[in-house]
Amino acid sequence: MQQINKKYIVLSAILILVPIQIIFAGPPFDTDDPEPVSFKHWEYYISSINDHQAGVWSGTLPHFELNYGLIPNVQVHLLLPMNYYYPGHQGFTPGYADTEFGIKYRFVQETDNLPQIGTFPLLEIPTVKNNKFSDGKTKIYLPIWLQKSWGKLTTYGGAGYWINPGPDNKNWIFSGWEIQYDFSKLLMLGGELYYHTADTKTSKSEAGFNLGGSINPSEKFHFIFSFGNTLTKDNTFTSYLGLLWTI
């Protein structure tokens, strides 16, 4: 029992000294799509992303996301996360660190034979000095996304390259693919598989899945959710819960 407790204490100490890195992507999944918000329309999100590993919870509680259709086929994006870290025995630690800004651009329209294709570069910008949630370095994400629909069935995915400066960090690649089905105006369900390479010199590549969807009481209000787990040895449970308002 003493040996197990020592391992737990060491693991918790390591986790609390390492800035928490959370992937923000296409709610409620990690994989994104190339479809921007329509011209002169808005999307507002209030959401929470959560990871659970070895008795430690981390994530956002909440984060706020704003998307606006600036011009046809172009969306501007802003995300403000209130991060948290909860190792249980050491108490709850909240904090703000990095602001996310991005521009989504769809450069190929979908046809009967071709998918729509776009890119969504992101900047993770250190905003508040907080060593628990940021290493103080600006990070850049450069992805390509594709999407194709057949009636109520939609599938999308792609890959991107993270430029990840910082002590002991490594540049890394994220790839994922999602498929979803609109059962009715009220309910959409889907799932994704994803894989990313190691993002630090001491971490390993990771694969996982998420299952989720949206419940749509109206055309403007949506409850979005997903739950999943890694498929590699770290055994991390992930979840996303959020409210979306579109105008």
Residue 103 CB neighbours (<10 A): 15
pLDDT of the residue at 90 = 80
pLDDT of the residue at 10 = 40
- What single-letter amino acid sits at 76? V
DSSP H or E segment with residue 100: strand 98-108
pLDDT of the residue at 25 = 65
Fold (CATH) for 2-20+28-233: Porin (2.40.160)
Length of the chain: 247
- What single-letter amino acid sits at 170? K
Question: Mean pLDDT for each 10-residue chunk of the chain (247 residues)?
Answer: 43 41 76 98 98 94 97 98 91 94 98 97 95 92 98 98 95 98 97 97 95 97 98 92 98
Show me where the domains of the chain are located: 2-20+28-233
Q: What is the pTM of this model?
A: 0.88
pLDDT of the residue at 79 = 98
